[in-house]
Amino acid sequence: MQLYATLGAALFLTKGSCPEMLAAFTSALEIAESLDDSDYRLRALWGLFVESFTSGRYRGALAVAERFCTDAAKTNDPADGPIGDRLVGVAPETDGEFQYRIKSTEGTHERVAKETDTRTWRSEGAGGGIEREKGHMAITNVVLYGCS
């Protein structure tokens, strides 16, 4: 499971989205589910989201992001929910879902404010390393204004 997740990330960084990346993260997800490992389940879902998103399969990316949110709600890590919200928020507009995405990112702002007393923190969890405040603001700019 760990090797498949690492392989998927390495493939993305060296080759970009490719069938091997998809296979690696799919295998990581299957093993994580069989072991009921929520951390690696989310890592694998994150990788599957990135693969779908960068391959232009936006509906698939949105479905994976929504599954990430569902699974993140069952974990004890307060970072998992906002990461899922961001994934949903960056899925490109399809069939007028822009209003849904705005609400998703607004909810993340509210959740971030409630969950932390610090201005920034780093999560080495499912998303790999995200500064909450700066990362969220950049994602929000892309979602709401189309710029970074």
pLDDT band at 49 (very low <50, low <70, confident <90, very high): very high
- What tokens does 9 get? 């990330």
Which candidate, 31, 30, 68, places its Cα nearest to that of 49? 68
DSSP structure class, residue 93: P
Instruction: Give the pLDDT confidence of 66-120 residue by residue, as tens digits.
Output: 999 999 999 988 888 898 888 888 876 554 454 445 445 555 545 544 444 333 3
Instruction: Give the pLDDT confidence of 134-148 residue by residue, as tens digits.
Output: 444 444 444 444 443
Q: How far apart, in whole angstroms, are the C-alpha atoms of residue 143 and residue 86?
A: 9
For the whole model, what pTM was predicted?
Answer: 0.67
- Predicted confidence at residue 25, as pLDDT, reads 97
- Predicted confidence at residue 110, as pLDDT, reads 52
Q: How far apart, in whole angstroms, are the C-alpha atoms of residue 101 and residue 112?
A: 17
Domain residue limits, the chain: 2-145
Q: How far apart, in whole angstroms, are the C-alpha atoms of residue 86 and residue 65?
A: 9
Cα-based distances in Å from 136 to 28, 39, 41, 48, 56: 27, 21, 22, 20, 22
Fold of 2-145: 1.25.40
Q: Torsion-angle region of residue 116: left (phi > 0), alpha (psi -120 to 50) or beta?
A: beta
- Predicted confidence at residue 143, as pLDDT, reads 41
If 0-12 CB within 10 Å is exposed, 13-18 middle and 19+ buried, where does residue 64 land? buried
